[in-house]
Structure 1
């Protein structure tokens, strides 16, 4: 009996040891697996600090130009528009580089170092007076403009910062989503992503800008350097935990292939010719009749041999993807002007704030002019939460249907126009107070403070923030749903492209108004910014009409599928 008991104890001990070893192996295998929620602190931590860096240096750039480089106010807004446009173009370049050649990790690592270099050099411009023109001390004399060398140094620094920040902004978001395998986790991740993005923007446009305005520009930019450094360290610290997605090639290559193949085969007759289908595409649907010229790109002729893809041959699916992209471009273009109006609104709000009383009540605390734009961001984030959790569910419960992305974008257009109307009314009131206090024609360029509270700007800023709460999610949903599957990974980058083109457009409109009218003056008290806002309102209303035409002519993917089913059933 004792022998049997001993054997039983040994057997149980061996089983226990085996289970322990197996459990240990499972533990290490589980934790050695790349990706997942382990990467969240590294991704979001670097995202937060890099967003604070971007907001800290670009959020107060107009004021920095005016106060430290003696650049005229309208010129400062135009330079700022070009900077934001460039910064919004680079996410497209970053997406192409990461998808086609190097992968997200390498692109983010390189561009974050470029951002660090640019922000560091920007700090040097604030530290060394020789890099800037002398301060404007005598208001009776014109201020000295920057030299060509000083402009060259400034533009080089801005270029580095734009490349660095633009190359990391959306690429890091895509890389974070690649760490998860199920759609539910991706959805949760994006919720945290946007929360961190808005949090970083608000912190930078309030705390960091306050330091720049009230403590020191050098200290303010140095904080951005520290944030960027922390972001780089956090991102690189997660190197062993990230799931790496190998570059699969840019979808834009297939678009170029379709166009080139269609041009090369433009004289080839489609009679007695077959079409080239993707190996994974089991359907044999004949290419649609719309934009039939592009169908030549998928014609398979004898000279193609056994090739399935080349610069002379594309697939039917690639042709149809390009057609889908072409069909949605009018809707996309209707948002370009809207983005330009938002850019001009943001710039003029800062100029208005510089000429208004920014003190809170009777206290000595003065709100930085650029920090007023954080009210827009707060209104957007709060509105998105209220709409998603309260308004939209209540609307669906009462009516039985949900607002479509197009309807959300349409409401955003309307609210955008109302925000411009509110801006015109506030500016008219400000000019009225300036005239009552005889403050017209007193300045040679520096802002003249009018005794009217800048808190009036909260009204148009709140309305514009709510409009963005409709526009931003609506545009992302529309593009993600309607873009070809092969382009879904870059569909959200179209928002960035909208901002880029819109800010370049706002530069052109500002220059046109400035050169053809007397409404835009460096001293707003001598101009008629209220009329400019009314002109922008009219442009917004006309653009809304263009949007309605595009929306009525647009056919959703679902509509086209239903039409195909109707054709089949009727035949």
Structure 2
């Protein structure tokens, strides 16, 4: 027995020594390069894609915008699946590797559509002739590239940050928290720089060198990303997959359904509910009482076999309360759907910018139409820094709260600013359209004398609305959930934007079909001067105002949102969590970082 014990100890020591030789800061260039090049490749394509769809595939403005809305929706939904696969089955390394190669394949297919003439309809001038629509096979090739890129993003985005932190996780190192913070800083800096490069350099290349070169550069960058990531394979710490939190939610629902015919025991009864030893949660709360049946002990002898674990037949009281916490925030989460529509308005402003005066100082230099999203990014980034360093200390003196504004107040302010953003968009478009009609461009394409930089205020307001609302949402979820659910907050944010994109596509489809009846010109017609995009923006403004009042009702109904103090975190193995984040749950971002929202909203 002593010999076997010594062998076992030697095995443990050798495993620890082997693990210590892996990971560390030497792996950071490979991981950060992978995320950086993926961002440059993907975000750069989204900024200008509406022009590719309308010019090369002869899509109407409404049809092209719907395609991009749905592409963005899938791209924001897939990270939830990627996180689940990473946590439950494949592990982060495999999911990132698969996502990288699938993204590369998607980019390559898109590049082929630009290279092969038969992949797109014949070229034509829509101002003098009727253009031939794309064939089903041509659209299938295009849509397959979008689908592959969305699937690839679902593998990279939810795992990259967590995988990088895995390389630095060392509880025995007293400087571990500082190392992690240093990694986070470098990670966010690289992502921010890559996104700014995407909406400027990549868009400029597409405008000046054409689609073949403009799509070829992202393919080359993505190939470099894949090569660099695999070069560090032998150096990585590769954590094994563990049970996902989503599985725990499914277990509660399953157990509650199986016990649906059981009567709930009296409130003051003892010994009827299953809970882990030492837990503060021994009796479930009265809210959503139907879920309490999931933790009722039906057979004491059999169910007590699960005293230290849960099953599909009986769950702990804590598990039930975690699911209740998630359900409780859903009304406030739903208020993020409409703002998800407004912050994803990238296609129509690009089409507007194409028809406006984009000159900078001289006739030869023109600002790229797809690069105006840069102003939203800069506004968001600058405001986050100013708010954190200047505004919060000033507000704290008056509100007597450390954070200045509460999370719910920040969400509400973001919703209010989104109303102003849409009103500004409508007024600017009205000014552009009136100028076009006055200059005789009502029934033909042309450049109006109105400066395209009139679009800057609406982009700045969108960036400001996102800074308040999106970050407020994330911090709100983090304050209401236990640490074991920290990944759920960002997953909800991404899911809200995904649903918002679907709603945005639905609004455009309904508006297009209704307003063009009787031979009338659609409000979202391809000819912006004959259309009424200003009416479209006013509709979004109206929906945003209704959404703001809906939020006020939800916020009032939710009640106090004091940070949860009574979650017994010792129960969920804090030793497995990192000092700052619950990276075991594959969060999409670090809380409070604005950079994730650039990815989520597709700027």
- Structure 2 CA distance, aligned partners of 1:431 and 1:90? 38
Identify the residue that residue 376 of structure 2 maps to in structure 1: 376
- The answer for the alignment partner of 2:145 in structure 1 is 157
**Partner secondary structure for residue 451 of structure 1:** coil
Structure 1 residue ranges without an equivalent (≥5): 1-27, 563-571
Question: Are residue 314 (structure 1) and residue 311 (structure 2) matched?
Answer: no
Q: Who is 2:478 aligned against?
A: 480
Shift of 1:273: 7.9
Cα distance, 1:364 vs. partner?
Answer: 1.1
Residue in 1 aligned with 2:360?
Answer: 360
* Residue in 2 that maps onto 1:569: none
Match of 2:526 in 1: 522
* Residues 78-227 of structure 1 mapped to structure 2, 5 A cutoff: 78-137=66-125, 139-181=127-169, 182-227=176-221
Q: 2:303·2:314 contact (CA, 8 Å) conserved in 1? A: no
More helix by share: 1
Question: 2: CA distance between counterparts of 1:410 and 1:228?
Answer: 39
Per the alignment, residue 299 of structure 1 pairs with 296
Tell me how far 1:472 sits from its aligned partner: 2.5
Give the match for residue 567 of structure 1: none
Matches within 5 A, 1:382-421: 382-397=382-397, 399-401=399-401, 402-421=404-423
Q: In structure 1, which of residues 511, 522, 542 is the aligned counterpart of residue 546 of structure 2? A: 542
TM-score, reference length from structure 1: 0.88
Distance in 2 separating the partners of 1:188 and 1:398: 33
Distance in 2 (alpha carbons) for counterparts of 1:262 and 1:99: 24
Contact 2:380–2:467 (Cα < 8 Å) also in 1: yes
TM-superposed CA distance for 1:479, in Å, is 1.6
Q: Deviations over 1:539-560 (max 9, x none)?
A: 1111011111111222456477
Q: Distance in 2 between matches of 1:554 and 1:376?
A: 31
Deviation at 1:481, TM superposition (A): 2.0
1:554 aligns with 2:587: no
Counterpart of 2:283 in structure 1 is 286
1:218 and 1:114 map into 2 onto residues whose CA distance is 20
Structure 2 partner of 1:531: 535
- 2: CA distance, partners of 1:205 / 1:383: 20
Deviation at 1:234, TM superposition (A): 2.1
RMSD of aligned alpha carbons: 2.2
Structure 2 residue aligned with 1:455: 453
2 CA distance for matches of 1:253 and 1:370? 42
C-alpha deviation, 1:32, in angstroms: 4.3
Q: 1:546 to 1:90 in 2, by over 3 A?
A: same
In structure 1, distance between residues paired with 2:18 and 2:239: 19
Unaligned segments of structure 2, at least 5 residues = 1-15, 170-175, 516-521, 567-603
| Partner SS state of residue 363, structure 1 | strand
1:331-370 aligned within 5 A: 331-343=332-344, 345-370=345-370
SS of 1:365's equivalent in the other structure is strand
Q: Alpha-carbon deviation of 1:170?
A: 2.4
Contact 2:109 2:142 in 1 (8 A): no
**CA 1:448/1:105 → structure 2, altered by over 3 Å: closer, same or farther?**
same
Counterpart of 1:5 in structure 2 is none
What do the CA deviations read for 1:104-127 (whole angstroms, capped 9, x no partner)? 011000110011111112111111
- Corresponding residue number in structure 2 for 1:506: 504
SS at match of 1:364: strand
In structure 2, the partner of 1:4 is none
Q: If the length of structure 2 is used for normalisation, what is the TM-score? A: 0.83
Counterpart CA distance in 2 for 1:321 and 1:158 is 36
Q: Aligned residue for 2:436?
A: 434
The alpha carbon displacement at 1:284 in A equals 5.0
The runs of at least 4 consecutive aligned structure 1 residues that moved more than 6 Å come to: 28-31
Q: What is the distance in 2 between the residues matched to 1:498 and 1:390?
A: 30
**Partners of 2:501 and 2:91 in 1: how far apart?**
29
Report if the CA contact (8 A) 1:56-1:220 is conserved.
no
